[in-house]
Amino acid sequence: MYPLLNTINTPDDLRHLERKQLAQLAQELRAFLIESVSKTGGHLSSNLGAVELAIALHYVFNTPHDKLVWDVGHQTYAHKILTGRREAMKTLRMAGGPSGFPKREESPYDAFGTGHSSTSISAALGMAVAAKLAGTDSRAVAIIGDGAMTGGMAFEALNNAGAMNANLLVILNDNDMSISHPVGALNNYLAKLMSGRFYATMRRGGEKVLGVVPSMLELAKRTEEHVKGMVIPGTLFEEFGFNYIGPIDGHDMDVLTTTLGNIRNLEGPQFLHVVTQKGKGYTHAEKDSVLYHGVDKFDSVNGIAPKAASKPTYTQIFGAWLCDMAAQDERLIGITPAMCEGSGMAGFAQKFPQRFFDVGIAEQHALTFAAGLACEGLKPMVAIYSTFLQRAYDQLIHDIAIQNLPVMLAIDRGGLVGADGATHAGSFDLSYLRCIPNMTVMVPGDENECRQMLFTAFHLDTPSAVRYPRGCGPGVAPQKEMQALPVGRGELRRAGKNIAILAFGSMLAPVLGAAEQLDATVANMRFVKPLDEKLILNLAREHDLLVTVEENVIQGGAGSAVAECLQYYGMAAPLLHLGLPDEFLEHGDPTQMLAACGLDAAGIIASIRRRISDADKPSFRIT
């Protein structure tokens, strides 16, 4: 079925092909991708658009001696297939299978681990400088998408790279940029010309000749910039110190290989602008690249079938609340760092376009922008994934918390996220949020509680965060009517004996299941900050063992807050903290991952019984 692709086990095999065979390889590779991802799920649109680029890069560059750094990394499936992982793609993003992103420990061809955006240029620059210091001929290539170019870190790296004169190639994989002109024969011809040795030689020679007449040299440079600026949008990158080339057709294999071959022989920082199409070669994905960006398993012939109605996800609960709240209060402003659909804001963006702001992949800017809005009496709400909030930690402290501004964070994907793995897990937010003065941190135990907490947070005059997990909750229907919860107050959900389990957020459902078998008391804590200290102290007095359970790392998390509370009041009480371990958890099925961490009902019971069996007090023993 894939006669040419099946012969490619390493890039060395690829480089033995004749150039005229590469177009056929691209067709086979694209067909393989569609078939493979339809069975495993994963990122599809972005990978279909990068097939020719992946082939051309490995064909021209001597990988892994030459380093390829893929930004974000969700467009690297073709790269993985060409570098010895074709057969392993059947277990993509499953436990023990390949990651959906580059991982250094997975393959020597994965030069740098990614998962968050706008990091590739910085990393590749480091590799280019290292090669220069070592005196090797290794080349470093950063492949960055137009979305990732909205991140400030990419421009910090460009600014630094242009001044270093290292042999760095930055490839802009542009599939949606408004600056792009239609790609045609003229642009392809100009790209080949400007990447060739003749152009580079003439440019250097002209500078030497005209250098003796400074005014003429300056005129020549201005003329060159003006002429190039008329036909290509490269002036910005030239100002950073790069030689700009493009835009070129990212699906024309001849143009790609010729241009890359020319660039590989050039010295100094080079910038290649490649225009591609998301979902290329698959009609369904070409028509709706957003729908096919990240997919579950689907029928490769008929496409994604409409999902049957099921209980709403926490993301959908948030989206519905956002629209309802916006209708009630005109001060509400919705902000997202390039995650409109993922964060459930599409409905809000459609109904309230004047109050919706997608700031691009710029988490730091998103929070400080929100701070500015709050200074003027508005009520900004930032919808953000837990893993991406980490990137704006300084802004949260410096620009929001220190000034005690009423900026609300709706934190999605709190806890484990399954197939996306360690780079996308929200494992640390409770630890890094609760230590910030002025913050209120809430963790809903079910869908209705999530809606009410969002309402509560919105009406606070201080910084606040509502943190909820990916996917669905236990199935508690959210009430249309919204009521503010008493801040810092938990609730007793079950009365039992000897053991009190303090559940934080998503752990409430498995804790209730475990408590039935243990005849334990259960407290739904609701707030990580401020804690319900009165409830904690009462439970400590009335029970022989306190158990805290959270979907967050144990170090510095909600359980640590409980321990600090007891210590502050001088109360000695046996404690057991259950949560995520002190390690980065790899990708897999989220239910199985939680079970492996001992955070399902069975795991909670087992951990408590182990603790009791080790205790000296006979009263701890459970029959």
Catalytic residues: 278, 363, 391
Phi, psi of 516 (to 5 degrees): -60, -40
Strand 294-295 to strand 42-43: parallel, antiparallel, or no bridges (unpaired)? antiparallel
Cα–Cα distances in angstroms (integers) from residue 28 to residues 51, 98, 129, 455, in the given order: 10, 21, 37, 52
Strand 527-529 to strand 440-442: parallel, antiparallel, or no bridges (unpaired)? antiparallel
Residue type, 269: P
397, 404 contact by CB (below 8 A):
no
Phi, psi of 110 (to 5 degrees): -90, 90
Q: Output the CA torsion 600→603→608→609 (10° steps).
A: 140
The verdict on whether omega for the bond into residue 306 sits within 30 degrees of 0, i.e. cis, is: no
> How does DSSP classify residue 459?
T
Token pair belonging to 379:
């009520």
Strand 464-467 to strand 440-442: parallel, antiparallel, or no bridges (unpaired)? parallel
3-state secondary structure 230-246: HHCCCHHHHHCCCEEEE
At 567, which helix (H) or strand (E)? Answer: helix 558-568
Q: Residue length, the chain?
A: 623
Q: How many CB atoms lie within 10 A of CB 617?
A: 11
207, 217 contact by CB (below 8 A):
yes
Q: List Cβ neighbours of 153 (8 Å cut-off, separation of 6 or more).
A: 118, 119, 122
Strand 575-580 to strand 294-295: parallel, antiparallel, or no bridges (unpaired)? unpaired
CA separation for the pair 531, 539 (Å, rounded): 13
